[in-house]
Structure 1
Amino acid sequence: MAHDIVFFLAPDDESAAATRRLGPGPAFESVTCRFIEPDSAIAEWDMYFEEPAAELPPIEQLLAWPWPEWVTAPLNDGVEVFALPPRLIRAFADATSVELEELADRWTARLRSADGDEVTDDDLLAVLQGVSRLAASAVSTGGGLYSWSF
């Protein structure tokens, strides 16, 4: 099932967990996109930065990759709050425009392989550029980068 997702900057896991019920809202710097799975997106990005390649790795490799950690326990309400791994935050903070473009192309290919032409209508490169800006802020402030989705 696809979600509406907000990637946001928070000072710590406790602050991120507090967003569970109502979402991050305007108090947190954020980037929003729609119709993607947050955990698989985070795993896809992490895999790219750990093993950079323009080619799309097999789905089995993605499924075997370490998935993001829950910040709050999952419930039946459809809300998910994940923490992006520190190495991924650092990789996004240091990412070049070429890396972000290559990742956007690879991520688009992954989404199309799973959903055909029913992929998000968001500009995935713009989403990644926004996440990269948030990551740079997280690194400079000592905060964390999280996803909230419903």
Structure 2
Amino acid sequence: MAHDIVFFLAPDDAAATATRLRGPGAACESVTCHSIEPDSAIAEWDMFFEEPSAEAPLLEQLRGWAWPEWVTAPLNDGVEVFALPKRLTRALANATPAELEELAGRWTTRLWSEDGDDMTDDDLLAVLQGVARLAASAVNTGGGLYSWSL
């Protein structure tokens, strides 16, 4: 099931956990996208930087990748809060415009193959560029990059 996701900065896991009930809110620097699975997006981005390839990963490859860690235990309300891996945060912070374009193209290809006409209307390159800016802030401040979704 696809979710609406807010990628946001937080100083630490405790601060990210505090967003669980109401979301990150306007006080947090954030980027929002719609109709995306947060854990598979994070895993795909991580896979792109760790094992570069222009080809979108097969679903089996993606499922076999290390998935992001929960910041809060999952409950039945549908809210998910994940911490992006530190290595992915660093990779996004240091990504070149060309790398972000390549990743956006690969991500779009995978989502289109899975969702077709039901794919998100978000500009995925703009989402990645925004998340990369958040990642740079996280690296510079010593904080973390998180996703909150419902």
Give TM-score scaled by structure 1 length.
0.99
Q: How does 1:96-115 map to 2 (within 5 A)?
A: 96-115=96-115
How far is 1:75 from its partner?
Answer: 0.1
- CA distance, structure 2, for counterparts of residue 115 and residue 121 of structure 1: 11
How many residues matched? 150
The list of structure 1 runs, each at least 4 consecutive aligned residues, that deviate by more than 6 angstroms after superposition, is: none
Partner of 1:39: 39
- CA distance, structure 1, for counterparts of residue 51 and residue 57 of structure 2: 10
**Identity rate of aligned residues, in percent?**
79
Q: How does 1:49-64 map to 2 (within 5 A)?
A: 49-64=49-64
Partner of 2:128: 128
How far is 1:58 from its partner?
Answer: 1.6
- CA distance, structure 1, for counterparts of residue 75 and residue 60 of structure 2: 27
The alignment partner of 1:117 has SS state of helix
Partner of 2:28: 28
Letter in 2 for 1:27: A
Letter in 1 for 2:69: E
Partner of 2:7: 7
Q: How does 1:85-100 map to 2 (within 5 A)?
A: 85-100=85-100
How far is 1:113 from its partner?
Answer: 1.3
RMSD, aligned CA: 0.5
The alignment partner of 1:148 has SS state of strand
Letter in 2 for 1:119: M
Letter in 1 for 2:67: W
Mark the runs of 5 or more structure 2 residues left unpaired by the alignment.
none
Give TM-score scaled by structure 2 length.
0.99
The alignment partner of 1:26 has SS state of coil
How far is 1:117 from its partner?
Answer: 2.1
Q: Does 1:83 align with 2:83?
A: yes
Partner of 1:71: 71
